[in-house]
Amino acid sequence: MANLFPRWSNWLPLKIIFCLLVLGGGVSSGIWYYFTPKYTRVGYQPTQPVPFSHKIHAGQLGMDCRYCHSFVETAAYSNIPTTQVCMNCHSQIQRESPKLELVRESWKTGRPIEWVQIHKTPDYVYFNHSVHVNRGVSCVSCHGKVNEMDVVYHAESHSMSWCLDCHRNPADFVRPISEVTNLNWVPPAGKTQREIGQELVKKWHVNPPDKNCAGCHR
Ligand code: HEC
Ligand code: HEC
Ligand code: HEC
Ligand code: HEC
Ligand code: HEC
């Protein structure tokens, strides 16, 4: 008896099941991708090779961020300090501390300490620190209260919508340049953040890219 259907149709149900499986897999791996902590990144807190504490250095000792992150106002990238910067003090202070063993070793051998990078924008995104820091955007807006962290963690999401939330309302964030590395700054009595922000946005003609995709994807 002649087959009414072409041969390939025998495979049709199988193909449909296969497609559903792939689709289902895609959906669940999509959910996995978006909801795992690594993707949202907030809270990511790797163990560093040396138990360096921002709470001690930037908090209690009151060191300015720029003492160590010295390129943050002048370059796209914010640097991590070299071992020499640590040894400015630690060749005298806590010379015997076992917690500083790796620092002394790095100093002797010249091999840099392998700090684990926490914040990273994808390669297809253009980001520049100095542009922000020189327009009164504080470290605290993008990194949280680092001066209170014993171990640094990813405090903000750094997703696209997060960038845009500020780019659409910069007045809620910008402050006098002199206060950018003062993470505890609050507006002076009688003024609100918004009032101060609006003045500065007007004065500096602040206009961050929000609709222009090429502003951040160059
Ligand atoms: C004494 C030097 C020193 C000072 C002062 C300092 N930092 Fe750091 N910072 C480091 C070192 C070393 C690391 C890398 C190890 C770590 O993550 O703790 C680092 C890491 C960071 C990171 C995470 C970088 C990444 O991998 O994403 C941020 C954010 C940061 N610092 C912000 C600040 C801010 C804000 C201040 C000022 C309130 C500041 N730091 C002051 C030395 C310093
Ligand atoms: C301006 C001086 C100064 C610089 C620069 C500095 N430190 Fe310190 N650091 C101190 C002081 C002071 C203490 C001791 C605080 C205390 O005992 O309460 C300390 C404590 C420490 C401790 C804890 C030691 C222990 O046994 O408790 C570590 C670890 C440390 N620093 C690492 C670093 C690293 C890594 C760098 C470079 C990225 C660095 N420090 C740069 C002044 C400095
Ligand atoms: C507008 C948001 C924003 C502000 C303001 C900001 N940062 Fe960042 N920071 C970022 C982003 C985004 C990254 C990841 C950059 C990348 O991957 O190139 C980052 C990365 C870093 C790193 C890691 C660099 C590396 O290569 O490991 C350090 C250190 C850092 N920032 C310190 C600071 C300090 C200190 C300040 C304040 C003076 C500051 N940042 C202000 C958004 C910001
Ligand atoms: C808390 C506020 C804030 C956040 C968060 C923020 N920005 Fe900005 N951004 C600004 C301000 C303010 C300017 C300065 C605009 C001006 O001077 O007209 C700016 C300017 C820029 C510019 C244009 C300057 C240039 O170099 O061409 C780019 C690109 C940019 N931001 C990228 C980003 C990216 C990417 C993120 C997220 C990872 C981000 N920004 C997060 C406030 C912010
Ligand atoms: C203020 C900076 C900024 C602007 C403007 C911007 N983007 Fe993005 N975009 C980002 C950042 C940051 C990421 C990376 C997000 C992440 O790593 O989670 C991103 C990621 C993406 C992705 C990758 C998918 C995703 O969601 O992770 C696409 C697609 C994209 N952007 C398209 C666009 C388009 C289209 C526009 C214009 C309407 C635009 N972007 C404007 C900052 C920006």
Question: Per the structure block, which two tokens stand in for 196?
Answer: 């101060």
Where along the chain do its domains lie?
54-80+115-215
- Sequence-ordered list of residues with C-beta below 8 angstroms from that of 82, at least 6 positions apart, any chain: 112
In Å, how far are 44, 98, 178, 183 from 133, measured between CA atoms? 24, 36, 10, 13
CA gap 142, 193 in Å, rounded? 17
| Average pLDDT in the chain | 88
Ligand 2 centroid from CA 53, angstroms: 8
The atom of ligand 3 lying closest to the CA of 166 is 1
Can you say how many angstroms the Cα of residue 193 is from the centroid of all Cα atoms in its chain?
A: 23
Query: pLDDT tens digits, residue range 106-144?
Result: 999 999 999 999 999 999 999 999 999 999 999 999 999
CA of 78 to the centre of ligand 1 (A): 9
Q: Is 78 in the pocket of ligand 3 (CB under 6 A)?
A: yes
Q: Which of 194 and 22 is assigned the larger pLDDT? A: 194
Q: At residue 70, does pLDDT exceed 60?
A: yes
Tokens of 11: 């495979």
Which atom belonging to ligand 2 lies closest to the Cα atom of 81? 38
Which ligand places an atom closest to the C-alpha of 179? 3
Task: Among the bound ligands, name the one nearest to the CA of residue 152.
Answer: 1
Cβ–Cβ contacts within 10 Å for residue 86, how many?
A: 21
Instruction: Measure the CA–CA gap between 128 and 81, rounded to whole angstroms.
Output: 18
What confidence score (pLDDT) does residue 3 get? 54
Nearest CA to ligand 2 atom 15: 56
Residue pair 45/154 in contact (Cβ under 8 Å)? The answer is yes
The ligand placed nearest to the CA atom of residue 122 is 5
pLDDT (average), residues 177-187 = 98
Q: Residue 34 Cα, ligand 4 centroid: separation in angstroms?
A: 24
Residue 40 — pLDDT band, cuts 50, 70, 90?
confident
| Contact by Cβ (8 Å): 154, 196 | no
